[in-house]
Structure 1
């Protein structure tokens, strides 16, 4: 998980006197080896990415939970009693969405739609996690921490800073700081439970920012093993239940994906996305897919709502926030990264 070449700072956490000092290297080992038998709690994910309000994209058009992912907050409840007993419930403004695993049974339930899908896992599925909730649902601090740790490479400085208090528990703070001056991300801070060694909070800060642009944190947590009843799902009256298996569902999704791809003509001169630069300052570039009819009108309408920009590289439209920027050029190229617009302009000029 930890990328080679990243130097873990020698500074130790100047923790509360009741806590022993821990170096950054020791905290990284703690995270990798952490294991708990059970927990339950409330997770709050909040975000303020500084994005402009664009109808149908960041403005509220009915998908309140998706909007909250970029400008607002989401709340979820989590229960865990081992790899084969886990439950995550998104408490949305329009209803509740749950993923529940109990042994070989996995349920995916949406209260608003009054639908539930029941999957039976194969016998060799022991230790595998249940399917994730849809995009827009807050991650757990563990998921967010894993993503942050996967980004550690020689372009990352790893250090520690003081003690923290999260959900009433003592924690150390591990800090990941991009070395690249082009990066819009200033720091990623992980609060690690002093006793259980699991992440309790993950904060992502924009450069020179005082408040985090993204926070995923336990608001309340207990390490008591939840009652078995929490993992027993009985569909409420009126719920439409779809029976499936993990293999059948995967095959159906693959079939739908291939059908959707085959129904679209391959764009002329289509190219695979490429990456310019490395680490936190990398820029992904690709060509816009060819669209026609209503699809083209909708795409052009969204792009036209973005601010117009131009330079020696040409002209186009810019979508930017506190943690990332996206440039769409008039000749159909797209550049995106956790970098300032100027870095995208340089990439576009090459």
Structure 2
């Protein structure tokens, strides 16, 4: 029997991705020394940053738990309907996943939602994605010239482990944040140091981002995102259990269950999937296109505000509603339930949470940032 069927896991999609994505600032590491437990050697913030960047393990397996409480209001289409339970768990609930890793070419993430289980596995040049909800599987065969690239187990921008969540936070480091340490911690029964990223700009809704770093292996064991003045994290992604042992080969073997519809993408499709990473030149071109479309960032660091146009609905040639049109309809229902506001910048609707605010203007713009609404109004008037 497939290990996917014998050992199902609960779904884990990481709302911390959104929280970390709005972190526009980081810190100069400085020379602050960790007040570590007497059993642990002292490590400065700068040393811990280097430890994380240079960490390398041959293999591990464990259970990752994600919890969130963003304080969002009840919204139509989100709090009811198919799949709503999974969506709500991302903003006010708990999710769990099992992960296995035995090198860049042997990795597995097991996910489960209300409507079924999804498994992603790489075993050498073979990559499988299996969905129990519709009894479907997609099998990718990685070309030899792409074998050194790591396939994405989750949608772009969504961390699938605390390591990826930590990488996203650390990549944003610059002088707008203070980086300190709080000493020793315990995560998944292991000794860890705690690295704290704090925005210097008090206008940010994010109070701190805390990274628990394994004292021996130097890999992140957990990431906590705190709202300003909060005692409990709004988002947490952490190992509940972890073993630094190379998993058995059987964990990466997959045979489609009977009745599964298997799709084999073409080599061209696979090449596109693995060529998603863009060059600096392509990034500049994308920025130019985004600017032409009205997308821009107002401000810098932790209090930067993203300004973009709301997505437009579309119809296919037969005049039927497309997926984009249906999604736009759902979005309209959500926006219509938000409180109306107005000011010198215009009028629109406002969504607030513990970690971010979003302003949808009547002239078709959306502004999002880890800031209080006043910052959005200011950006909307520019």
TM-score, structure 2 normalization = 0.81
In the alignment, is residue 11 of structure 1 matched against residue 32 of structure 2? yes
In the alignment, is residue 65 of structure 1 matched against residue 86 of structure 2? yes
Kept in 2, the 8 Å contact 1:69–1:138? The answer is no
Within 5 Å, give how 1:221-232 maps onto structure 2.
221-232=242-253
Map Cα deviations across residues 80-100 of structure 1 (whole Å, 9 max, x no partner). Answer: 111111001113333221110
Distance 1:125 1:15, change over 3 A: same
Kept in 2, the 8 Å contact 1:69–1:136? The answer is no
> Which residue is 1:348 aligned to?
380
Q: Secondary structure at the match of 1:244?
A: coil
In the alignment, is residue 312 of structure 1 matched against residue 334 of structure 2? no
Map Cα deviations across residues 151-204 of structure 1 (whole Å, 9 max, x no partner). Answer: 111211111112110000000000111111221111100000000000000000
Q: Deviation at 1:341?
A: 0.5
Kept in 1, the 8 Å contact 2:98–2:110? The answer is yes
Q: Deviation at 1:302?
A: 2.4
Q: Deviation at 1:281?
A: 0.7
Distance 1:22 1:51, change over 3 A: same
CA distance in 2, matches of 1:220, 1:153: 32
CA distance in 1, matches of 2:310, 2:258: 46
Where does structure 1 lack aligned partners over 5 or more consecutive residues? Answer: 255-268
Greater alpha carbon shift after TM alignment, 213-222 vs 118-127: 118-127
Q: Secondary structure at the match of 2:144?
A: coil
Kept in 2, the 8 Å contact 1:99–1:130? The answer is no
> Which residue is 1:211 aligned to?
232
In the alignment, is residue 110 of structure 1 matched against residue 110 of structure 2? no
In the alignment, is residue 36 of structure 1 matched against residue 57 of structure 2? yes
Distance 1:253 1:146, change over 3 A: closer
> Which residue is 2:302 aligned to?
280
CA distance in 2, matches of 1:127, 1:47: 34
Kept in 2, the 8 Å contact 1:180–1:280? The answer is yes
Q: Secondary structure at the match of 1:124?
A: helix
Q: Deviation at 1:56?
A: 1.1
CA distance in 2, matches of 1:224, 1:239: 32
In the alignment, is residue 159 of structure 1 matched against residue 177 of structure 2? no
1:325 to 357, 365, 368: 357
Distance 1:50 1:345, change over 3 A: same
Within 5 Å, give how 1:161-176 maps onto structure 2.
161-176=182-197
Would you say how many aligned residue pairs link Structure 1 and Structure 2?
333
CA distance in 1, matches of 2:87, 2:376: 26
Within 5 Å, give how 1:167-316 maps onto structure 2.
167-245=188-266, 247-249=268-270, 251=272, 271-291=293-313, 295=325, 298-316=330-348
TM-score, structure 1 normalization = 0.88
CA distance in 2, matches of 1:299, 1:164: 42
Q: Deviation at 1:16?
A: 1.2
CA distance in 1, matches of 2:294, 2:381: 19
CA distance in 1, matches of 2:330, 2:134: 27
CA distance in 1, matches of 2:273, 2:185: 46
Kept in 1, the 8 Å contact 2:68–2:93? The answer is yes
CA distance in 2, matches of 1:195, 1:249: 38
Kept in 1, the 8 Å contact 2:52–2:219? The answer is yes
Q: CA RMSD in A?
A: 2.5
CA distance in 1, matches of 2:25, 2:306: 22
Distance 1:291 1:115, change over 3 A: closer
Distance 1:175 1:195, change over 3 A: same
Distance 1:252 1:40, change over 3 A: closer
